[in-house]
Homo-oligomer: A and B are copies of this chain.
Amino acid sequence: MTTQKIDGASVTTQANVYFDGKCVSHGLTLADGTKLSVGVILPATLTFNTGAPEIMECVGGFCEYKLDGSTEWVKSSAGEKFNVPGNSKFEIRVTEPYHYICHFG
């Protein structure tokens, strides 16, 4: 099931702009202190580095991703998630806008 709304969020009004705008996100903090972000990646192939572990939840469109150390591109579509270890990286290949929620920790 696709998460269409996140309720009770405190929204950081200034966006995070990565890769000249190929990735744009807004940070959210929930009442219990949980931090996450909602964002979109536009058509591109990008490499992201992680600090904390991340769970990437697709809420629209799709992507293909390749985790560090893997040679396999895996598709992730709306309603699906994938996990990225901390202190790692992943490649992501997008051909139509990929809308996501990034959960940390």
A residues with CB within 8 A of B? 3-15, 17, 20-22, 24, 26, 28, 38-40, 42, 59-60, 97, 99, 101
| Contact (Cβ within 8 A) B11 A99 | no
Known pairs A24-B24, A38-B26, A40-B24; A6 contacts B13 (CB<8 A): yes
| Contact (Cβ within 8 A) B11 A38 | yes
| Contact (Cβ within 8 A) B11 A11 | yes
Q: How many copies does the complex hold?
A: 2
| Contact (Cβ within 8 A) A38 B21 | no
**Among A21, A38, A59, A60: residue with most chain B CB under 10 A:** A21
Nearest CB in chain B to that of A97: its residue: B17
